[in-house]
Structure 1
Amino acid sequence: MNSTPSLHRTDLAQLIVNRIVQEKDRIKIQYEVSKNQIGYFFIDDLLPPEITEYVNSQFPSKDAMVLKKSIRENKYIGVQMNQYARILEELIYAFQDERVVNIIKDICNIDDLQPDVNLYAGGLSSMKHAQFLNPHLDNSHDKERNRWRVLNLLFYVTPNWLDSNGGHLELWPEGLKQDQTTLYSRFNRLIVMATHDKSWHSVNPVVADASRNCVSNYYFSSTSLSNSDKFHVTTFRGRPHQKLRNQILKLDSFLRMNLRKLFKKGVIENPHVYKTDKE
């Protein structure tokens, strides 16, 4: 890696900004055209490929991550960044650099946009063969229920990931009874999508004997993107052909939502939060 720029978060943030500037006009139009349903944009070749390949090579083993496996989802996550290779934390917090936040704020025309130092539901994710994420709405708020979750940033880092491999982000802009839009999780691609009460999205099953790795962040705001949005827990549904699973997940969401009405911050503390040594 001696031939690459510094891998400190400030330098990585500048590389991200430089690349976004090159594509700013295109991705601003892409977001504007889509924002009345589920706003999104994507940009390829975000970082020099040797840096992204290095990031992928430093992903923790599955044994060092947490397996989340249920009828809702099946994936590995990592959020305790101080337990992993330094580059992973540097990259995650590069996306929280003020320069990156400000340019995305301008692209998406969101006046109040704030990153999340706690990485609430952010961090690392890895999905191997047969793993998936069912259609769902993200939790509407941050850890303290003070801010609205408004943007999801997904940076895919697995080299040579084929479109035929699966493990791709799916948006359901017309709801779960209509066709989805597939955004391929290609190497070195950043996808930014809006999160609100209509942002149904999923990840289709990985069909390759390989792991699709992703670095993710959420941005928050004091106001929601949708006038109709209200507080909601992460809400899962079945795919169109999963009739029984859909009914089970409806009940699951109903019960969890009612628990949150009684216990504002949940019955147990959400473990998907980065706790640093200072906490």
Structure 2
Amino acid sequence: MNTFRLSKRIMNINRTEIADLIYNKIIENRSAIKTQFLKTNETVGYFFMDDLLPTELALEIHAKFPTTEEAVKRKNIREFKFTAFQMNNYNSLLEEVIYAFQDERIIQLISEICNLEAVYGDENLYAGGLSLMGKDNFLNPHLDNSHDKDRKRWRVLNLLYYVTPNWTLENGGNLEIWPEGLKKKQTTIESKFNRLVVMTTHQKSWHSVSKVLKDDVRCCVSNYYFSDTPFLNSDTFHITTFRGRSSEKIKDIFLRIDNGLRSNMRRLFKKGVRENPHQYKK
């Protein structure tokens, strides 16, 4: 699709057309991102790819993001961020781009790159959707919940597509991966405009988001893929589990206690005391 045609149709572009663009870009870079993934797969496997979509479309996606006032605020000892997942409340372009990542061709292609089989998208956007992080927002080191909302399938891949123009490393709000655990140095992946990051999720895939230092909002389109089997054979069920950084000794104690209390509740109530509201109710 050339720039002129995209300019004419950008407001009416649908998920299939966006998926075409994503698919073709991944095919074009398949060898390089496969190499990236294989180099990291022994710990927390990941790859990233820049210039995923035409710049004009990526800018339009960012322009249509809701404000933090229109999103759900999540502020506690574990995290400070804003999320949006009831997609019919927002501009339709945002729903189209989210579900473009769940096109079967893209799921199959990314699964092959990551050496996975029987992988599925998530129509309910459980813990997915849109993420917004403003100044002083953060996400402490954590492991994602191991399962989908019904606790039937294993969460295996996390897809993060960043769309804030001119975002730099110095702004903070960058993805951090801890391949050797929380006592070793993290790997920082810049939340660069028009960048897609795909990372594995399992019981050793600790990751976090550094505190946002700039008075701006970092915007991200988030998807998860699930599978009939866990990424690691050793994986066991776990809730979203948070820890403190090495400089946060006291906070880490409280987070460990919090993890224990929430884990015990899930042992008593398999699907939780209440249904997790972070899902798209169609």
TM-score normalised to the size of structure 2? Answer: 0.96
Residue in 2 that maps onto 1:13: 19
**What is the correspondence of 1:83-232 to structure 2 with a 5 Å cutoff?**
83-232=89-238
| Residues 1:268 and 2:236 aligned together | no
Give 1:147's aligned amino acid: R
1:153, distance to aligned residue in structure 2 (A):
0.1
Residue in 2 that maps onto 1:67: 73
The Cα offsets for residues 111-131 of structure 1, whole Å up to 9 and x where unpaired, read as 111000000000000000010
Question: Which runs of at least 4 in structure 1 moved beyond 2 Å after TM superposition?
Answer: 1-6
CA distance in 2, matches of 1:77, 1:111: 30
Residue in 1 that maps onto 2:3: none
CA distance in 1, matches of 2:192, 2:203: 27
| Residues 1:34 and 2:40 aligned together | yes
The Cα offsets for residues 51-82 of structure 1, whole Å up to 9 and x where unpaired, read as 01000000011111000000100000000000
The Cα offsets for residues 178-215 of structure 1, whole Å up to 9 and x where unpaired, read as 00000110000000000000000000000001000000
CA RMSD between the two structures: 0.9
Instruction: Give me the identity figure in percent.
Output: 56
Residue aligned with 1:140, SS: coil
Q: Is the 8 A contact 2:163 2:194 kept in 1?
A: yes
| Residues 1:2 and 2:42 aligned together | no
TM-score normalised to the size of structure 1? Answer: 0.97
1:3, distance to aligned residue in structure 2 (A):
3.6
Residue in 2 that maps onto 1:257: 263
Give 1:255's aligned amino acid: L
Give 1:218's aligned amino acid: Y
Q: Is the 8 A contact 2:7 2:56 kept in 1?
A: no
The Cα offsets for residues 14-36 of structure 1, whole Å up to 9 and x where unpaired, read as 00001001110010111111111
**Structure 2: segments with no counterpart, 5+ residues:** 1-5
CA distance in 2, matches of 1:54, 1:180: 32
Residue aligned with 1:117, SS: coil
Q: Is the 8 A contact 1:152 1:219 kept in 2?
A: yes
One of 13, 24, 45 as aligned partner of 2:30: 24
Q: Is the 8 A contact 2:83 2:130 kept in 1?
A: yes
Residue aligned with 1:2, SS: helix
One of 207, 228, 237 as aligned partner of 2:243: 237
1:100, distance to aligned residue in structure 2 (A):
0.8
1:275, distance to aligned residue in structure 2 (A):
0.3
1:99, distance to aligned residue in structure 2 (A):
1.0
Q: Is the 8 A contact 2:52 2:194 kept in 1?
A: yes
Residue in 1 that maps onto 2:254: 248
Residue aligned with 2:43, SS: coil
CA distance in 2, matches of 1:40, 1:7: 29
Residue aligned with 2:173, SS: coil
Give 1:2's aligned amino acid: S
The Cα offsets for residues 63-106 of structure 1, whole Å up to 9 and x where unpaired, read as 11000000100000000000000000000000000111111011
**Structure 1: segments with no counterpart, 5+ residues:** none
Aligned length: 276
CA distance in 2, matches of 1:42, 1:225: 19
Residue aligned with 2:29, SS: helix
CA distance in 2, matches of 1:168, 1:235: 19
Q: Is the 8 A contact 1:4 1:51 kept in 2?
A: no
CA distance in 2, matches of 1:2, 1:147: 40
1:4, distance to aligned residue in structure 2 (A):
5.2
